[in-house]
Amino acid sequence: MVGFNLARAASVSADMATARWATNRTRIIGVPARIARTGRRLVLHLPAAWPWMSGWNLLWQNTTGPPTPRRD
């Protein structure tokens, strides 16, 4: 249940709110990337012509960027 909820939150953050579970699994979770370690940091190498790069970048920015201001 927790994994499903995290996957749904990731898909909403990647601007794919109406995507089904299988779509989330192939576009977000099953990323064809490799991880390299250099200078005490991890570098994620994504494919250059990956069709879902914009959604992944949006998810990455929303996850690692500064929090958005709250509107009351």
Domain annotation covers residue 20: yes
Q: What percent of the chain has pLDDT over 90?
A: 3
Average pLDDT over residues 37-59: 85
| Residue tagged 């790069």 (tokens) | 53
Q: Report DSSP state, residue 25.
A: I
Max Cα separation, the chain? 42
Q: Give the chain's domain count.
A: 1
At residue 32, the pLDDT reads 81
pTM exceeds 0.85, yes or no: no
Mean pLDDT of all residues in 11-19: 80
pLDDT band at 57 (very low <50, low <70, confident <90, very high): confident
Indicate whether 61 pLDDT > 80: yes
Domain membership of residue 23 (yes or no) is yes
Residue 69 counted as domain residue:
no
Is 62 exposed, middle or buried, given 0-12, 13-18 or 19+ CB atoms closer than 10 A? middle
**6: containing domain:** 2-47
